[in-house]
Amino acid sequence: MAAHVRVFVIFTAAYFLSYFYRSANAVIAPDLAQELALDASQLGLMTGLFFAAFAAVQLPLGVGLDRLGPRWVTSALMLVGAAGSLLFASAHSLAALALGRALIGVGMAGVLMGALKAFSQWYSPLRYPALSGLLVGLGSAGALAAATPLAWLNETVGWRAVFGVGAGAVAGVAAAIALGTRNAPPGVPWPGQSVDLRALQTVFGDLRFWRIALLVFFTNGTLLAFQGLWAGPYLNDVYAADALTRGNVLLWLSAGVTVGFLLSGWLSTRLGLANLVTLGAALFIATQVALALHPPPVVMAPVGALFGLSGGLTIMLLAQPRYVFPIAVTGQATTAVNLFAIGGAALVQWWMGLIIGLFPGVDARYPPEAYSAALMAMATGTAAMLMFYWPMRRSAA
């Protein structure tokens, strides 16, 4: 296998695992809640720790990638994730689950940014956007594995076995990155330059950054919070859906996300990046409202697919900094936006749990109104940030 193909394949495999882990709790949430007697707020906080730890690593991660390179930084972090998966698999308390989930978040924090850093060295500027979009689209299929296949495995061997085997898969891909890739093509020296953190002052002082960051906080945050956790309890409590049915609906939702990711780059070149984001966010708000109104079970799968598709289109917010900021600071600007994208997932996941927990539950089940309130709150926040973002449509992006 040619070296440049090997780099793409290995990092895509790593992102597949990252997306699997961020989405897995949606299917196994009812089992976690029942087995360890977790209420909604505990379940939301524990699951959200993946994203909280992921977000906390972002800014120092950028420094590490620039100085040491993705080969060593990404593989080392993934070994932390493998240890977290083993701890999660053997946990018998909320504290152990939470620590395992947080370590998995740390382990996966360097996968996407590490891949993009590697691609920037291995591929020409003309090929970079297409391959980056292909990476995100193919890797997000990890959410498909965390839908019906995970539901079947959970019923067959149990979630503990899945996370135990997953730890071995993560360690194996980490080894593949360390042994099978390079920071740069042969003959191209790795600069190992230091990073001027004063560039962050330029980024955070620009109003355009906040228009992008606050919208991605709610779009990406709500997408991952629902896909990665609350879709499962929503289907369980509102529709009394069994595990396989929940997995099938999540499969449609995750397929929508994958299609949205794959189409986003192509559509942004035709509609304009900011126009595409605006359209995607508006559709995303509409589907949140539809879910809050509890559509008939027969249309749940299409509504879930549209929720995923529209949320996936807004991923172009992560690409927008390179059109807004000078080339010298786009790396740190992108990492800073990603901090809000992942931080949004952590907080929105927790906030939804807090709102749902305000309603009286019986045997870890909550009434339909609880999910309506949580979804409408997130739809309102997304709508407010879309209005704040609206002036970006006048930009060249």
Structure tokens at 129: 């956007």
Give the model confidence (pLDDT) of 335-359 as tens digits: 888 899 988 988 998 899 899 989 9
Q: pLDDT in tens for each of the 397 residues of the chain?
A: 788 889 999 999 999 999 899 888 878 888 888 888 888 888 888 888 888 898 888 888 877 887 788 899 999 999 999 999 999 999 999 999 999 999 999 999 999 888 878 887 888 766 766 677 788 888 888 888 888 889 899 889 999 999 999 999 999 999 999 999 998 888 777 766 655 667 678 888 999 999 999 999 999 999 988 987 899 899 999 998 887 888 889 889 988 998 998 888 778 878 888 999 999 999 999 999 999 999 998 899 999 999 999 999 998 888 788 778 775 566 677 788 889 998 898 899 889 989 998 998 777 689 999 999 999 999 999 999 999 999 998 765 5
Within 13 Å and on the Cβ side, how many CA atoms surround 339? 18
Please name the residue ranges forming H helices in 91-158: 94-108, 111-122, 128-139, 142-145, 148-156
Task: Return the biggest CA–CA distance within the chain.
Answer: 64
Which helix (DSSP H) or strand (DSSP E) does residue 204 occupy? Answer: helix 199-204
Q: What is the CATH number of domain 3-394?
A: 1.20.1250.20
Q: Where are the domains of the chain?
A: 3-394
62 close to 111: Cβ distance less than 8 angstroms? no
| pTM for the structure as a whole | 0.78
Among 250, 349, 348, 236, CA closest to 308: 250
Element (H, E) at 184: none
pLDDT value for 197: 62
SS3 120: helix
DSSP 306-362: HHHHHHHHGGGGGTTHHHHS-GGGHHHHHHHHHHHHHHHHHHHHHHHHHHHHTS--B
Concatenate the DSSP letters of all residues of 230-281 into one string.
Answer: IHHHHHHHHH---HHHHHHHHHHHHHHHHHHHHHHHHHHHHH-HHHHHHHHH
